[in-house]
């Protein structure tokens, strides 16, 4: 674990032209401590992250934690508390069995140890029925993201032979989610440096400017709750777009890194995020709009479907959106990306964290 987080942090510092001494505070995020079997691991990781003598905070908001950690850290700069904050998120899933850790017993339910897939499969079914979505949409997303991942050297999965046929033939895990339509269990870390205006303007590489941040939570269960198209996600996007001055997200946003751990969540989030009308998200997949050469490339990095160190997955979305507007995304760069969305969700889709970054200072 110390090596994992330190390697990511060191690369972020190098990118920012900084050393450990330049950092004023460290904010670390990860999903449940039981994934690694260490209670509050930030305590023992403080040294590896050069945090001795500095403020260190630890965020945990389920799968959305990567996004929440970046937002919490952004407040420390915006408030004037610090000028340069190191943000690090990680997960080392190989230390445990995530499906067990994600099979929590909610009140009045049986514990059937089906993990996150078991929780989300009925939600996806509901979406398919509601939107009249054809069966192949999830398969198309699964192939697209794995092809994108081939252009990203940091992607966990490298599946050069991926095809719709291969996805269709892969074992059905939680109907309708097939093996190749789900995310892998990954070890990984992600780090970014957030800085104030003067520091950013003096940085050796172009910065990504934060145009807005938003987070929302709603109850796990409740009579008014729409788990397919959550109220919290819609509110979060609305708040975010208003901060960033976005009136037509489909037109104003050049690419999006969206938290899609199961392929069907791409069309579902397209609707929740207001990129298209309710019930039409699957058409964006079907007509190629979300492909790397489409009008709104979604997950050019390969997404959560190609790498899922859970606690870091949200921050990877945020960092990848920043790489795009910095023009530093390498082979998976979206041409001319000037404004990008980073999105994370967690729990039973009741926690959301998002930001908009741009190449221009707002």
Partner 1 sequence: MSAPRTYDRPVAIVSWASFETPSEPARNEVEMLLPVLQDALGRVGMTQRDIGFTVSGSSDYLQGFPFAFVGALDAVGPWPPIRESHVEMDGAFALYEAVEVLQHGDVDTALVYAFARPSRGELDRTLSIQLDPYAVAPLWPDARGLAGLQAQAMRDSGRFGDVPDVPPTTVADGAAALVLAVGDRATALTKTPVWIRGMDHRIEPASLGVRDLTTSPSVETAAGNVGVKDVDAAWLHVLYPHQELLLRSALGLNGARVDAKAGPMMVGGLERFAAAAAGISSGGAKRAVVHATSGPCLQQNLVALLEGVA
Specify the residue, 226 or 252, whose C-beta has the smaller distance to partner 1. Answer: 226
Q: CA–CA separation, 60 vs 358, rounded Å? A: 26
Containing 345, the helix (H) or strand (E) segment is strand 339-346
Least distance (Å) between residue 164 CB and partner 1: 35
Q: CA–CA separation, 211 vs 252, rounded Å? A: 12
Instruction: Report the 10 Å Cβ neighbour count for 14.
Output: 12
Least distance (Å) between residue 353 CB and partner 1: 9
Least distance (Å) between residue 185 CB and partner 1: 15
Binding site for partner 1 (CB under 8 A): 1, 31-34, 36-47, 51-62, 68, 71-72, 75-76, 78-81, 101-102, 104-107, 214-220, 222, 224-225, 230-232, 235-236, 347, 350-351
Phi, psi for residue 61 in degrees, rounded to 5: -130, 45
Q: CA–CA separation, 203 vs 207, rounded Å? A: 7
Least distance (Å) between residue 217 CB and partner 1: 4
Residue 223 gets which letter from DSSP?
A: T
Specify the residue, 172 or 221, whose C-beta has the smaller distance to partner 1. Answer: 221
Token pair of 75 as six digits: 């407040």
Specify the residue, 53 or 160, whose C-beta has the smaller distance to partner 1. Answer: 53
Least distance (Å) between residue 264 CB and partner 1: 22
Least distance (Å) between residue 289 CB and partner 1: 28
Least distance (Å) between residue 47 CB and partner 1: 5
Specify the residue, 142 or 349, whose C-beta has the smaller distance to partner 1. Answer: 349
Specify the residue, 105 or 251, whose C-beta has the smaller distance to partner 1. Answer: 105
List the Cα angle 106/110/113 in 5-degree steps.
90
Please choose, from the candidates 176, 181, 151, the residue with its C-alpha nearest in 3D space to the C-alpha of residue 166. 181
Q: What residues pair up with 182 in beta bridges, in sequence order?
A: 262
Specify the residue, 215 or 282, whose C-beta has the smaller distance to partner 1. Answer: 215
Token pair of 259 as six digits: 């938290």
261, 182 Cβ separation under 8 angstroms:
yes
Please choose, from the candidates 84, 76, 20, 75, the residue with its C-alpha nearest in 3D space to the C-alpha of residue 52. 20
Token pair of 112 as six digits: 């059937």
Residue 1 gets which letter from DSSP?
A: -
Least distance (Å) between residue 43 CB and partner 1: 4
Least distance (Å) between residue 84 CB and partner 1: 15
Phi, psi for residue 344 in degrees, rounded to 5: -140, 145
Specify the residue, 38 or 150, whose C-beta has the smaller distance to partner 1. Answer: 38
Specify the residue, 106 or 172, whose C-beta has the smaller distance to partner 1. Answer: 106
217, 351 Cβ separation under 8 angstroms:
yes
Specify the residue, 3 or 171, whose C-beta has the smaller distance to partner 1. Answer: 3
Please choose, from the candidates 95, 121, 299, the residue with its C-alpha nearest in 3D space to the C-alpha of residue 186. 95
Q: CA–CA separation, 255 vs 5, rounded Å? A: 27
Least distance (Å) between residue 22 CB and partner 1: 17
Specify the residue, 61 or 321, whose C-beta has the smaller distance to partner 1. Answer: 61
Residues contacting residue 121 through CB under 8 Å, at least 6 positions apart: 174, 175, 176, 177
């Amino acid at each position: 674990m110390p090596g994992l987080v330190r390697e990511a942090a060191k690369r972020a510092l190098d990118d920012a032209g900084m050393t450990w001494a330049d950092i004023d505070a460290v904010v670390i995020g990860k999903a449940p401590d039981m994934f690694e079997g260490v209670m509050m691991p930030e305590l023992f990781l403080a040294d590896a992250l050069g945090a001795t003598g500095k403020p260190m905070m630890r965020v945990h908001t389920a799968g959305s934690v990567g996004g929440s950690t970046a937002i919490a850290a952004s407040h420390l700069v915006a408030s004037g508390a610090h000028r340069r904050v190191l943000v690090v998120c990680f997960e080392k899933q190989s230390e445990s069995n995530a499906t067990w850790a994600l099979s929590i017993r909610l009140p009045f339910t049986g514990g059937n140890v089906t993990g996150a897939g078991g929780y989300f499969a009925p939600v996806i079914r509901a979406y398919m029925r509601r939107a009249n979505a054809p069966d192949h949409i999830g398969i198309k997303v699964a192939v697209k993201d794995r092809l994108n991942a081939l252009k990203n050297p940091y992607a966990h999965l490298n599946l050069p032979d991926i095809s719709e046929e291969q996805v269709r033939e892969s074992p059905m895990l939680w109907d309708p989610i097939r093996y190749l339509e789900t995310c892998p269990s990954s070890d990984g870390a992600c780090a970014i440096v957030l800085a104030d205006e003067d520091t950013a303007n003096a940085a050796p590489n172009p910065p990504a400017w934060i145009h807005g941040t938003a987070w929302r939570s709603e109850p796990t269960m409740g009579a008014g709750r729409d788990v397919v198209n959550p109220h919290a996600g819609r509110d979060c996007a609305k708040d975010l777009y208003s901060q960033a001055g976005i009136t037509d997200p489909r037109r104003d946003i050049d690419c999006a890194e969206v938290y899609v751990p199961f392929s069907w969540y791409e069309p579902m989030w397209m609707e929740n995020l207001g990129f298209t009308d309710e019930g039409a998200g699957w058409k964006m997949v079907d007509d190629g709009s979300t492909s790397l050469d489409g009008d709104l490339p979604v997950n050019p990095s390969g997404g959560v479907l190609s790498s899922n160190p859970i606690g870091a997955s949200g921050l990877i979305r945020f960092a990848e959106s920043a790489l795009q507007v910095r023009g530093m995304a390498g082979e998976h760069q979206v041409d001319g990306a000037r404004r990008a969305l980073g999105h994370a969700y967690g729990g039973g889709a009741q926690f959301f964290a998002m930001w908009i970054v741009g190449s221009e200072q707002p």
